[in-house]
A = this chain, B = another copy of it.
Amino acid sequence: MSHLSEAFTRALEQVVGSAGLIQDPERMNSYLSDWRNAYRGKAALVVRPASTAEVAEVVRLCREASVALVPQGGNTGLCGGSIPDDSGTQVVLSLTRMSAIRAIDVANETITVEAGVILQRLQEAATEVGRLFPLSLGAEGSCTVGGNMATNAGGTAVLRYGNMRDLTLGLEVVLADGRVWDGLRGLRKDNTGYDLKHLFIGSEGTLGIITAAVLKLFPAVHSLTTAWVALPSPQAAVDLIGRMRTLCGDRLTGFELMSRQSVEFVLQHVTGCNDPFNEVHPWYVLIELSDTLVNANLAQMLEDGLGEALAQGEALDAVVASNDAQVAALWALREGISEAQNHEGPSLKHDISVPVSSIPAFIEATDRKLKDAFPGVRIVAYGHVGDGNLHYNISKPVGTGDVPFKAHADAIMHVIYDATIAFAGSISAEHGLGQAKREAAQHYKGAVELELMRTLKQALDPVGLMNPGKLL
C-alpha cells in the first residue's frame, strides 16, 4: 500500500516514535476524510509529530525523499484543504499531538499556543484568566488553532474582533526546507521589515507548517443583550447596522441576517425552535451587544436604537431577550439553518462577501437571475452583514430530485460567483479555497494576483511538496 521505502518509514519512526506513526489502514481512516465526509483521499502514512523539532525533522526527511506533505488539524474544514489526494503517495502530517498552551501573559494580553490546541480549549484557557479569546465558530469543539490560522477562520464575532489573522501577533513556522522560522513575538508594534506572519496565515499549509502562535486576548465581557428584529428588506438591515454602529460602536458584537426562507426551514426541521413573532416577515436580524462593564445598560441602548428603527420603518417588529434561555432560543434560530437545510435535500453552499453597502443589490440581482434560470429554487440567504459575508445557499425546488438538481450545481455557482465579482466581492469569504474552490479561484481572480501568488509559492516552496493541489 505504501509507496515509500522501508528506510524512509524507519527514519520517520525514529523521529516521531511508534506512537507518532500510523500505517494501519483502519487507524488511518479518520485522517483521510473530513468530518462531513465530503472529501476522501489516500495516504502513504500519517505522521503525528509531538514537537516543533519533530515537525522540522519530518519535513526535512520528506524533502529529501521528495514526498508531499498534507498538514492537518481537526479536519473540520469545508473545502478539503487538509485531505490528501487519491494517489496514496502523500503523507498526512497531523498536528494534534502538539497541543500545549505554552504561555499566558495576562499583562500583555497574549496566549502562546501550539497548532494542535482545540479552539474551545483556547477559549477556556482565556476565560480562566479573566480574559476573552473571541474567535467562535460551529466547529470550535473539534477544530484546531493551526487550522484556524491556516484558513484564517472567521465566525460570528468578526464584526468586532476580526478574523484569525487579526487575532495573531506572532507565529512559529516550519518552512518547506525544514528550517524553523521563530516569529513567536507578542508585540503590538514591530516595523522591522516584511510582515511574514500574514503570508502564512490563510495559506492553507501550502507555504509552510504553522506549529505555534502568539494570540491576542481581550477584556472579558460582563454584559450581553440580544434582540431579534423583523425587517422589510436587506436594505433595512444595512441601514440598521449603520444606525447601531453609530450609536453603540464596538458594543455591537453580532449582527446576523436571515431570510424568511432560512428561518422557515429551521422552524420546520429543528425541534424546539419557535417563531418569536406571530406574523411572517421577509427578513430578520439577530443583534448582539456586549460590554466589559457589569451594568452597561445595553438593553436600554438597544431599545433606543430599535425604537428609532421602528419609527423609521427600518424595523417591523423587535423582541429583546430578557434571560439566558431567550438568548439561546434566538441563537438557535440562526445556528440551526445549516442543519435544517440538509432536511430539504442537497444544499449548494456559497460563502461569498461583497461590500456591506452592496448586499441589498447583490441579493436582489442574484435572486432574480437564479429564479429566472432555475424556477422554484429555494434561496437560503443568511450571514454576517457587518462583514459583508453571506452564506448564499440553494435548495432544490419542491418536487425536484437530488440528481437533476445537482446537475445544475456548476451553473448555479457561476450565476452566484459572477454576481459576486460584479459587486467587487470574494468567492470565498470564510472557508478558504482548499480543493473545493481552487479552480473557481483560477477563473475568478485576476491574472496579476494569481501570478503574484504563484511567485510566492515558487519562492517559498520551490519543490512543491507543501500541500500540493490545494489553493493554487
Contacts and interface: CB of A to CB of B under 8 A. Distances in A.
Contact of A191 (B179, B202, B445): B202
Nearest to A239: B107
Interface in A427-472: 427-433, 437, 441, 444-446, 448-450, 452-453, 455-456, 458-460, 471-472
A203 B427 CA distance: 28
A427 B189 CA distance: 10
A77 to B, nearest CB: 11
A151 interface: yes
Contact of A107 (B109, B151, B242, B432): B242
B152 A353 contact: no
Interface string A148-187: 0001101000110001011000000001000111110111
Interface stretch (A9-17, A84-92, A138-146, A384-392): A384-392
A271 to B, nearest CB: 32
B353 A249 contact: no
B185 A195 contact: no
Interface string A97-122: 00000000111111000000000000
A389 B426 CA distance: 36
A426 B189 contact: yes
A425 B188 CA distance: 10
Nearest to A431: B191
Interface size class of A (residues with CB under 8 A): 35 or more
A192 B426 contact: yes
A313 interface: no
Given A219-B246, A292-B247, A453 B353 contact: no
A250 interface: yes
A441 B277 CA distance: 62
Contact of A429 (B179, B181, B191, B427): B191
24 contacts: A105-B355, A107-B238, A107-B356, A108-B358, A110-B355, A130-B246, A175-B452, A181-B448, A183-B449, A187-B353, A187-B388, A187-B426, A188-B353, A188-B389, A191-B426, A191-B428, A192-B445, A193-B202, A193-B449, A194-B202, A195-B199, A196-B452, A248-B293, A455-B460
